Amino acid sequence: MHRRGLIVWANAIVFNYRTVESAGHTDDVSVTGNPAAGWGWLVERGFDIIQTDWVGPMADWLDKNALLTR
């Protein structure tokens, strides 16, 4: 998608545990002790936007791990 100039958006919010989006790389995984497997996984795969309920903690973790871009 990036080659076509498109922005790629991921949703890390869990709305319903029966239909978890983002392949399980969610806010829940991130805030319960494994942000590398949640937000980090999404960033490493090139998602440009990550929709989250935890903006502050996600930004802090991404910045601390040199993954935050502005």
Total domains present in the chain? 1
pLDDT of residue 70: 65
For residue range 22-69, list pLDDT tens digits in order: 788 999 999 999 999 999 999 999 999 999 999 999 999 999 999 987
Residue 14 covered by a domain: yes
Residue of 54 and 20 predicted with greater confidence:
54
Report CA torsion sign: 37, 40, 43, 47: positive
pLDDT of residue 18: 80
Residue 8 covered by a domain: yes
Please state, in angstroms and rounded to a whole number, the distance separating the CA atoms of residues 70 and 63: 10
Residue 70 covered by a domain: no
